[in-house]
């Protein structure tokens, strides 16, 4: 059989299309419409219901990351503000997303340059060097990276470091800083190959970071060192706190112990096992900060922990592949909402492990679970999701995730360690198995 496409074969394809009325109908519809609207199943659509049996208290108006990939930080800060809002009876509040973004960028720049120094012996065209150079300062991140930033730099109200055009539309900033970092990587590697020692390389790195800091100030502004915070609560009571530092603001007014949280994943790939803890090499932001740490468990355990957390009035940070089986305007993640098999006249049979192993899925977005709808037996039917894409979609920016969708495309949750068994806690504290940086579990939420 020939390895090329024969013209005779093309004619066979065309004849098959001409004889298939269903495909012709789908083609005609697709010429003028959005596929997720055309393939929508009416029976699933009419069952969309934004009510939930269990809801976290203190939910506020949703935030908007706009044209940036900061979802992981937005989700983390949105989790914090629920506790702050309860404490001070707030109707409206946002932490500064530009502030966390600024420190994430400078730390990622240092992390990148340090990795360049440590891998200078590698040839420029090795897979590792190509990986490091690909996207050194992207917006995305992970829970442990978020924790590293909060511990080191704290948080500030959005009024102290507001959004800028560049923070809300970060592509140009990232492109220009990435260009500079690649130039710096070249210089460091050249000096290393000339036989210079680490003292020289680190002196060079310090000077390079001064340039990156300067570029970040131009794009995002200067991070505040001290500030006053004042607010009027729902009962019109006025609160003022003076001479705060960002770290004291977090410790005194948010007050969460970040050591109490654990990161659980569901990754059924053939090269991974459940009840094992993993990390990803060369994935991080703060040098000498906490490493990425994932405890791999069945999806059912992730759901059990998330349900317990929500019933205890604690929101849950999570990471998923939001682009799959998702209607953005309706704000619905549902495996049954679209009949793609009928529309395209073909099946899509890959399971979760297949999709991970063959590049069809990975974690892309982080949000919060703020509610769950349980059946009479206490099993989840659907989940309430606080997104960070503004209030024009879904239920004023809050989305729905069906429980079936959770199993297929949700990969990660962060919950208090009290929801883990003693055995799971013991595993979580072990030395983790190291995954290569290009492993699907190395994907960053953005």
Question: What is the distance, to the nearest Å, from the Cα of residue 103 to the centroid of all Cα atoms in its chain?
Answer: 17
Phi, psi of 250 (to 5 degrees): -70, -50
Between the CA atoms of 325, 331, 337 and 343, what dihedral angle is there, to the nearest 10 degrees?
-60
Distance CA 207, CA 256 (A): 36
Give the bridge partners for 326, in sequence order: 333
| End-to-end Cα spacing for the chain | 45
Distance CA 395, CA 332 (A): 10
Distance CA 202, CA 85 (A): 43
C-beta separation of 101 from 153 below 8 A? no
CA neighbor of 305 nearest in space, from 425, 401, 409? 425
Which residue numbers are catalytic? 71, 365, 387
Supply 254's token pair.
């948010």
Supply 242's token pair.
């003076």
Beta-carbon contacts of 204 under 8 Å, excluding residues fewer than 6 positions away, are 187, 188, 191
Burial class from Cβ neighbours inside 10 Å (0-12, 13-18, 19+) for residue 198 reads exposed
Diameter of the chain measured on Cα atoms: 81
Size of the chain in residues: 446
How do strand 326-327 and strand 261-265 relate by DSSP bridges? unpaired
**b/e sequence 356-392, b meaning 16+ C-beta within 10 Å:** bbeeebbbbbbbbbbbbbbeeeeebebbbbbbbbeee
Supply 329's token pair.
């305007």
């Amino acid at each position: 059989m020939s390895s090329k496409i024969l013209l005779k074969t093309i004619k066979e394809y065309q004849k098959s299309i001409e004889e298939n009325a269903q495909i012709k109908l789908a083609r005609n519809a697709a010429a003028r419409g959005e596929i997720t609207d055309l393939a929508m199943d009416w029976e699933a659509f009419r069952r969309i219901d934004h009510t939930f049996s269990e809801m976290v208290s203190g939910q506020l108006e949703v935030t908007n990351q706009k044209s940036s990939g900061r979802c992981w930080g937005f989700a983390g800060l949105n989790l914090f503000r629920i506790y702050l809002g309860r404490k001070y009876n707030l109707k409206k509040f946002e932490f500064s997303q530009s502030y966390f973004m600024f420190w994430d960028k400078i730390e990622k720049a240092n992390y990148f340059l340090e990795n360049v120094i440590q891998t200078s012996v590698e040839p420029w065209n090795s897979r590792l060097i190509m990986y490091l150079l690909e996207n050194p300062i992207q917006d995305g991140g992970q829970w442990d990276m978020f924790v590293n930033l909060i511990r080191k730099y704290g948080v500030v109200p959005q009024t102290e470091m507001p959004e800028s055009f560049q923070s809300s539309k970060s592509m140009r900033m990232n492109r220009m800083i990435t260009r500079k970092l690649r130039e710096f990587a070249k210089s460091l590697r050249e000096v290393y190959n000339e036989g210079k020692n680490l003292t020289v390389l680190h002196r060079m790195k310090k000077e390079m970071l001064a340039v990156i800091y300067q570029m970040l100030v131009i794009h995002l502004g200067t991070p505040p060192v001290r500030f006053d915070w004042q607010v009027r609560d729902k009962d019109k009571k006025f609160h003022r706190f003076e001479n705060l530092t960002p770290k004291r603001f977090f410790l005194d007014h948010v007050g969460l112990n970040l050591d109490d949280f654990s990161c659980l994943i569901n990754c059924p790939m053939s090269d991974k096992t459940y009840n094992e803890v993993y990390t990803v090499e060369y994935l991080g932001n703060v040098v000498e900060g906490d490493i990425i740490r994932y405890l791999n468990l069945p999806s059912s355990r992730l759901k059990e922990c998330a349900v317990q957390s929500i019933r205890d009035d604690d929101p849950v940070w999570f990471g998923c592949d939001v682009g799959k089986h998702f209607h953005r305007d309706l704000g619905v993640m549902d495996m049954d909402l679209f009949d793609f098999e009928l529309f395209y006249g073909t099946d899509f049979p890959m399971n979760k492990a297949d999709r991970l192993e063959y590049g069809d899925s990975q974690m892309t977005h982080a949000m919060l679970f703020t509610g769950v709808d349980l059946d009479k037996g206490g099993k989840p039917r659907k989940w309430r999701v606080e997104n960070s894409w503004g209030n024009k979609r879904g239920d004023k920016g809050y989305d729905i995730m069906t429980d079936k969708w959770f199993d297929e495309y949700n990969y990660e949750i962060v919950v208090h360690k009290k929801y883990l068994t003693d055995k799971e806690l013991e595993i979580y504290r072990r030395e983790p198995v190291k995954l290569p940086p290009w492993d699907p579990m190395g994907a960053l939420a953005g």
